[in-house]
Amino acid sequence: MYIAVGGTVGVKSMVQSFTGSRFDSIDKDLLIDFSIKMIDLEMQVTQLDIYCFIISAIQMGLYVYSKSWIYNNILALIFCIHALQAMFLGNFKNGFVLLTLLFFYDIFFVFGTDVMLTVAKGIDAPIKLLFPKDYSGEKPQYSLLGLGDIVIPGVFVSLCLRFDFLKSLDRAKLEKLILHEAEDEKNQDGRTVKYLCEKALSSSKHYFMAVNLGYFLAIVCTVIVMLVFDHG
């Protein structure tokens, strides 16, 4: 139930990413709105939240009933997408240091000890991606890929995409558009937003494509290592 509720946020963010403002009409009016100041708890639920919870609960129910790796991976990917939307690093140095430290962390805790594998295998929840590798036995065997191996590099990939976008902006033109809208508050024609959207779509994405290629090769290398050493 906890994962179904948590998955609601991921389902909603994914729906809004693909549909834009199409469902804004059912996401404005609050059906539930309360807060408890003593424990700093606040809950606001809209009609769209209810629909997304139903989708998440059905998905979770299918996973609990079937224990299928397919439903596990769908839920895990939903969490990954939401995490990538919510997480933000201030600059490349933080991302580079984080990835470097996690590189050695993974080597030690995955290959040096059995800590990570024991935790991943011991928790029956969609906290990892499963890839079937052996159906011959009574119990199928799976290779595991932790969600951190997707989310943390994914944050760095998103930084590269943001950098490509910022490089394409004409700063002088952007400042003029912002100044124009600030001076004429009654005539907000949205030219600034249109300009940013056009640049986001048309900007060259060299850094983004390069780091995506590097990440793809790293994942291929990881899968090969798991198969060769039968570990993970």
Q: Is 149 marked active-site?
A: yes
Distance, in Å, from the CA atom of 106 to the CA atom of 14, rounded to the nearest integer, reads 29
Catalytic one of 29, 33, 49, 106: 106
106 is catalytic: yes
Structure tokens at 33: 């709105």
Question: Token pair of 133, please?
Answer: 């590798």
Q: Contact at 8 Å (CB) between 30 and 45?
A: yes
- Where are the alpha helices (H) located in 87-170, listed in sequence order? 92-106, 115-122, 148-167
With beta carbons less than 8 A apart as the criterion, state whether 61 and 53 touch.
no
d(CA 75, CA 78): 5
Which among 9, 48, 18 is positioned nearest to 30, based on CA atoms?
A: 48
CB 95 within 8 A of CB 156: yes
Q: List CB contacts of 197: < 8 A, sequence separation 6 or more.
A: none
User: Per DSSP, what are the bridge partners of residue 116?
Assistant: none
Out of 33, 149, 189, 230, the active site residue is 149
Q: Which helix (H) or strand (E) holds 141?
A: strand 141-146
C-alpha triplet 196, 199, 204: angle, nearest 5°: 150
Catalytic amino acids?
106, 149
